[in-house]
Amino acid sequence: MLSIKSALAKPFAKRVKKSVLKWAKKPIETQQKVFNELISEAAGTQFGKDHDFVSINSYEDFKKRVPIRDYEALKSYVDRVVAGEENVLWKGKPLYFAKTSGTTSGAKYIPLTKESMPSHIDAARNAILMYIAETGNAKFVDGKMIFLQGSPILKEQNGIQLGRLSGIVAHYVPKYLQKNRMPSWETNCIDDWETKVNAIVEETLPENMTVISGIPSWVQMYFEKIQEKTGKKVGDVFKNFELFIYGGVNYEPYRAKFENLIGRKVDSIELFPASEGFFAFQDSQKEKGMLLQLNSGIFYEFIKVDDFFNDNPERISIADVELGVNYVMIVSTNAGLWAYNVGDTVMFTSLRPYRVIVSGRIKHFISAFGEHVIGKEVEQALKEGMEGTSFEISEFTVAPQINPENGLPYHEWFIEFETIPEDITSLEAKIDASLQQQNTYYFDLIEGKVLRPLKITAVKKNGFTEYMKSIGKLGGQNKIPRLSNDRKIADALYGQGLTK
């Protein structure tokens, strides 16, 4: 028998689906409206004055006046906002800064405003409601839900709250979900990740957990601790667990391991949240990709990855994208980011409606030899390599070996296996064949004897966790890069004795 809450969820889900489809069916008009509003609202800001927003009447005008920027290029403006100045990038002051660890600039401060904050909350809610509308399954809303996230403790600087995005979002859990939410506020505030996960295990074990959410690598740690503590599969401990919500990394490399830890299959919903905006969510269990959020105060531009490092790469709007092309995603937002390179690369899986998959990071690729191998390709190759086998992996990363002691250079794959396959050579050959098939540059380098086929190095149990702990990035929103163009991670894994 359905409870009142789950009975009410269904008509609510139908209403939300109807409103989402309304803008999804008019994508170009929706984006034009967002564009016009952004330019109009920010015309009086310092950035708007510096870039002559009052004379921008079209997307072509915008491209002429506003160059593509990454965080470093926008930093002079952001620093003024951090110092407490108003009307710099967006009207007034932001409500929050999502503080993230930058690779080149130290800490990054990404603004969140009164106008941008609701889309972070609504998109996550709508992802669940679209699932209910499609499947008719709403029973899980009566159970307990958990999101493995950063601490909600915020600091204040010049009248602006600072914290991790996931910690900021924790302050916006709707009232009707407050009783369902896990873990407790006190546990969520624990800084040390291992201590926090142990506390979460203790709190959740007696509960009726129905929805579990977080970055796969960290949810995996939670599942393993549950199994260690109880000796049971997660699906037997939480008999009504039926929905896994994740984002940040591709779930596919983890899927076999998760299904083994859970003991059965559960439905999953993929999200594409970032400090810069909540860009997309999986709107269907039947279709590939995530629905791009065109109605959330974000104007999108795209540059082909192959052209990105040219002097003047072509920038296009949603109207001109093509299926199956790898694009760098550029955003302008109602938080005051303008023609901003988020760093993520995407591919469109559908143009009616516009759905994307995250193919990687523009900085996370290997092109030590001109091969330009991307995240999507290594994940696909690993998936194909694992087909028909029974082994499972916990984590992996890939780095170039440019100066081997013997023979030709190669790509070195560092993989943490649950149990190391007896025939690593066969696995190497399968992965390499898939990579050659996907990437013609890589194929040519192997064929031309510039590179030798890839080599797998096994990482010891919990090796990646130990590595992340050693650099102070254990837990939260931190994740291992799938690819590096250097050997910083590789050398650390060897140097700390984390390989077998």
Closest to 16 (Cα-Cα) out of 168, 155, 123, 141: 123
pTM: 0.82
**Residues 336, 411 within the same domain:** no
The SS3 of residue 401 is strand
Any domain includes 165: yes
**Tens of pLDDT, residues 311-355:** 889 999 999 999 999 999 999 999 999 999 998 899 999 999 999
Q: What's the N-to-C CA distance of the chain in angstroms?
A: 53
Residue 386 is part of a domain; what is its CATH number? 3.30.300
Which of 319, 334, 362 is the endpoint of a domain?
362
Residue 372, SS3 per DSSP:
coil
3, 109: one domain: yes
Residue 184, helix vs strand vs coil? coil
Residue where a domain stops, chosen among 310, 338, 362: 362
Give the three-class secondary structure for 149.
coil
Q: How far apart are CA 321 and CA 338, in angstroms?
A: 20
Q: 296 and 376: one domain? A: no
Q: Are 183 and 206 in contact (CB under 8 A)?
A: no
Domain-embedded: residue 394: yes
342, 362, 382 - which closes a domain: 362
Predicted confidence at residue 177, as pLDDT, reads: 67
Residue 470 lies in a domain: yes
Encode pLDDT of 102-125 as tens digits: 544 467 899 999 999 999 989 989
CATH number of the domain that 15 lies in? 3.40.50
Instruction: Decide if 500 is inside a domain.
Output: no
* Segment 176-186, tens digit of pLDDT: 667 788 998 89
Cα–chain center distance at 336: 21
226 belongs to a structural domain? yes
Token pair listed for 304: 């082909």
pLDDT average, residue stretch 455-480? 86
Q: In this structure, are 319 and 448 located in the same domain?
A: no
Phi, psi torsion values for 452, nearest 5 degrees: -100, 160
Lowest mean pLDDT among 16-25, 122-131, 244-253, 408-417: 244-253
- For residues 356 and 379, state if they share a domain: no
Q: Which range of residues forms the domain containing residue 183?
A: 1-362
Q: Are residues 325 and 239 in the same domain?
A: yes
What is the Cα–Cα distance from 167 to 346, expressed in whole angstroms?
26
226/154 same-domain check? yes
pLDDT (0 to 100) of residue 234? 96
Query: What distance in Å separates the CA atoms of residue 464 and residue 253, rounded to the nearest whole number?
Result: 15
Question: Phi/psi of residue 469, each to 5°?
Answer: -65, -40
Same-domain pairing of 320 and 375 = no
Which pLDDT score, from 0 to 100, does residue 104 have?
44
Number of domains, the chain: 2
